[in-house]
Structure 1
């Protein structure tokens, strides 16, 4: 793939089968919502048209475009204003269609049978992406597990305890995400077991291969270190002092500035407490209490524990991955939505893009900025698929630009044919309500013959909506 385009690398990360699965789940969810009378009264989906994988690709392409071109409101992307208007979006998809797909977007078909498990919403998507991530990249010796921000917080219907869901990523240099998982916390008392099971599940494909696993203070504990040692995998990370497994001789020691204390167990687990500017508690199954010199950015040589030096080196892969993802990321206007939709968008348009960019740079030896890489992907996602051309024509909505509109005066006496201007009434209803808008909107005898329902319009509104 030395001569392939960015779209080819993204296509092996997110295949057409994944987009087709999203389209199928979205159609099933929309049909269920339409059949639900209570939901159908609140949601304007009575004219829902089934989508396909080609339109879903365009939908995600528009979200990626919104991450590159920032506007204050979502509706501004389809504005007729000369400053805010973007003809690119209008050619791809209408505003109403975009909002309808966003409202119906779904990734699972088993909602009723998995009400107590929040992870089912994106489980199939996670499995498909993880399979593709592992297929084309061989990670380095050092791996870093990062615990992401809180995605979901609710209560378990059975235990009534808080249930929290977070994203955890297994990263490798030079900024590649090898695997993604969900950390679901259901029981406060079994917190230690949940942490161990989450890490062991995430690293199941990397065990017994001589890797060194670096974790933050949220995931590091002695039980996890012993589990990994049984599978020939090292663990290095910061440790929280309230964890009860480390020796109290180390965690409870009072140190002066520049001093440290360390103890090593019979099975090779080293716990070190160090006081520099701050007090740090470290755990490692790979190091002992040895120190080494490190050159800082200012050119000074400082003496640090070898545990910290190796930890900071492995952490650079995560920082690079996050830095690339934050640059020109997805649209921030989509924040007020369901947590699993935000997670899926992050997986498809951030993590998968960063992995595709990493492979592209390593295979082609070309240095490309993430913004330019995303621009290439927007063109790929929004392009017209010739295989689905017939299907798209049947589901495409007629656009106003494709029709030649003409303002016509209704035949007959004006005083009998006058009606309220449809657009003026619509605009004023948002500001002053229906009663005042009905009285203050002008009445005209002209209408647009080619518009659906032939609405009555004044000359100003006709030019505003059709020119």
Structure 2
């Protein structure tokens, strides 16, 4: 039920801030995101502090752009997708990042178009620190930030070529190593690239698959990796 419907039927209490809601103008959105960027540069303890008149906390930028209540209303109501397309987690085929999917996919697509890599490309995992409640939040002991959202990233010289969020076993995506690598490298197959990867990804099956896609691969491998030839496992390799 929309705010307009609730207001027309008298179901909104007089003291509720939602009674102040009006249709958002394009100029207000520009100001809204300008304040968001400002908040990335100027850190304060609380959102309301950006509109504080306390001389210790005061900064005039946010107040000149939008009133505090208007900013908070837009922040609360802003959606990137239609909620009618949401599939609950207990049903088949949920997209657990549906609410940010359009902007995430847009950023990844534009990033891939903006840079043309050389021969050598790398695939690895990254983590965005987050300690809130999230069904696919992970713990990675070896990372500086141990709790957060995990990403599979294809990059070259630190520039992201492709990226995928790990959303756990609840999603439709096949999260086997071969399929992860194949999805990330899809637009780089048959172009003569060399893929560098850590032991998490390296396996004989994946190397064979990449060879068939005219992509060479370099990576460390564990002796207990399934599919390794027995004569190779027993060898002691010389250090160069």
User: Do Structure 1 and Structure 2 share a fold, with TM-score over 0.5?
Assistant: yes
Correspondence for 2:121: 143
- TM-score calculated relative to the size of structure 1: 0.39
- TM-score calculated relative to the size of structure 2: 0.70
Give the 3 Å change call, closer, same or farther, for CA 220–62 of structure 1 in structure 2.
farther
Give the 3 Å change call, closer, same or farther, for CA 32–222 of structure 1 in structure 2.
farther
The reply to whether residue 108 of structure 1 matches residue 108 of structure 2 is no
Any residues of structure 2 matched to 1:245-264 within 5 Å, and which? 245-247=227-229, 261-262=236-237
Pairing partner for 1:183 from 139, 163, 166: 166
Any residues of structure 2 matched to 1:42-441 within 5 Å, and which? 44-115=17-88, 116-149=94-127, 152-153=134-135, 166-173=150-157, 175-186=158-169, 194-239=176-221, 243-247=225-229, 261-262=236-237, 291=240
Give the superposition deviation at 1:51.
2.4
Give the number of the structure with larger relative contact order, counting CA–CA contacts within 8 Å between residues 6 or more apart. 1
Any residues of structure 2 matched to 1:19-30 within 5 Å, and which? none
Contact 2:174–2:180 (Cα < 8 Å) also in 1: no
- Which structure dedicates a bigger proportion of its chain to helix? 1
**Contiguous gaps of at least 5 residues in structure 2:** 89-93, 137-147
Give the superposition deviation at 1:105.
2.6
- Cα deviations by residue, 1:273-295 (Å, 9 ceiling, x for unpaired): xxxxxxxxxxxxxxxx773xxxx
* 1-structure distance, mates of 2:43, 2:197: 35
Calculate the aligned-residue CA RMSD, in Å.
3.6
* 2-structure distance, mates of 1:129, 1:114: 24
Contact 1:34–1:46 (Cα < 8 Å) also in 2: no
For residue 126 of structure 2, give the secondary structure of its aligned residue in structure 1. strand
Give the superposition deviation at 1:80.
0.5
